Amino acid sequence: MILLDRVTKTYNKNGQALERISLHVEPKEFVIIIGPSGAGKSTLLKLLTREEKPTTGKIIVGGIDYETLKDKEIPLLRRKIGVVFQDFKLLPNKTVFENVAFALEIVGMSNKEIENTVPRVLDIVGLKDKEKRMPAELSGGERQRVAIARAIVRQPRILIADEPTGNLDPKHAWDVIRVLEKINKFGTTVILTTHNQEIVNKLKRRVITMEAGSIVSDRAGAEYKG
């Protein structure tokens, strides 16, 4: 599903963000990436969404080789990948419903289909009764669940969650993680970066540890020592 082969990302002469990263993620896997700030987790995710280009190395996601990817094909790629951000990135002037619907409007789904689809997805993330609320009226956990709803509403094969629990208290953090687990059960590959030791330890999934731009360990069911 995801393949990185000796990927290096250098921002300037001195700053090496990623150094010869090789990684393979199978379909339907749930992978947790951990590591201190500046380890290169976010850069790695930005490479996957093609917000950044690798300096060297090969990236293939869902059969698409990024080397041959043209600019105009980038939107099409992003529609296949759901992304959840630490800072939610919701549109403040749109309601919960409209925020989720927006992801479908972009791809040309009809209003009728949107009206059918969005409530079902909001139900999955437990926000069915809040579809008319504005983001400002929601708690952090609820906002993050809106962002997840938006990320999965197009049924992507891959979901990337960049520290989605970073701004949340433990209760809301677990709400979000449970939604991610649920989505993974439906068959979506999930890549999650986090600092939360408890989450890593309880989930018992494949854990990739990064330090200073390199992968230092990659083990199934590993624990986070902090």
Partner 1 sequence: MSVKQNTVVFKRIVKTGFLNFVRNAWLGIAAMAVMVITLTIILFSIIANATFANTVQQITDRIDVSVYLNDSVTIKQRDELINNLKGLENVEGVTYISKDQALVIYKQQNVGNSDLLTAISQTDNPLPASLQIKPRDPNRIEEIRTYLEKGDIKALQSDETSYSGDRKQAIDKITSATSFFRKAGIAGIIIFAIISMLIIFNTIQMAIFNRRDELTIMRLLGASTNFIRGPFIVESILYGLVSGVLSIIIIQALFSVSSRTFEASSLGILDINYSNTYFREHFFIFLGLQLGVGVLIGAISSLIATRRYLKFKTSK
Query: Which of the 8 DSSP states describes residue 12?
Result: S
CB atoms within 10 A of CB 187: 10
Pair 191, 160: CB distance under 8 Å: yes
Work out whether 55 is an interface residue with partner 1 (CB under 8 A). yes
Nearer to partner 1 among residue 52 and residue 198 (C-beta):
52
Q: What does the per-residue mask of binding to partner 1 show for 94-113, with x meaning CB under 8 A?
A: --------xx-xxxxxx---
3-state secondary structure of 204: coil
Taking the C-alpha atoms of residue 68 and residue 121, their distance in angstroms, rounded to an integer, is 34
| Of 223, 166, 164, nearest in space to 191 by CA | 164
Which parts of the chain fold into alpha helices (H)?
Answer: 41-48, 74-80, 96-106, 111-124, 140-152, 170-185, 197-203
Question: Residue 105 Cβ, how far from partner 1 at the closest point, in Å?
Answer: 6
Work out whether 135 is an interface residue with partner 1 (CB under 8 A). no
Considering only residues 139-178, where is the footprint of partner 1 by CB under 8 A? 150
Taking the C-alpha atoms of residue 223 and residue 220, their distance in angstroms, rounded to an integer, is 9
Question: Residue 206 Cβ, how far from partner 1 at the closest point, in Å?
Answer: 25
Q: With CB under 8 A as the rule, give the number of residues binding partner 1.
A: 30
Q: Which residue of 40, 54, 141, 213 would you call a contact of partner 1, by CB under 8 A?
A: 54
Question: Residue 109 Cβ, how far from partner 1 at the closest point, in Å?
Answer: 7
Work out whether 137 is an interface residue with partner 1 (CB under 8 A). no
Cα distances (Å, whole numbers) of residue 126 to 129, 154, 171, 194 = 8, 17, 14, 22
Nearer to partner 1 among residue 40 and residue 205 (C-beta):
40
Nearer to partner 1 among residue 76 and residue 216 (C-beta):
76
Q: Which residue of 1, 20, 28, 52 would you call a contact of partner 1, by CB under 8 A?
A: 52
Cα 221–chain centre separation: 20
Q: Which residue of 36, 91, 123, 197 would you call a contact of partner 1, by CB under 8 A?
A: 91
Cα distances (Å, whole numbers) of residue 130 to 96, 105, 167, 188, 223 = 7, 20, 21, 25, 36
Question: Residue 3 Cβ, how far from partner 1 at the closest point, in Å?
Answer: 19
Q: Which residue of 51, 123, 129, 137 would you call a contact of partner 1, by CB under 8 A?
A: 51
Residues at the contact surface with partner 1, assessed by CB under 8 A: 49-56, 71-72, 74-79, 83, 85, 89-91, 102-103, 105-110, 150
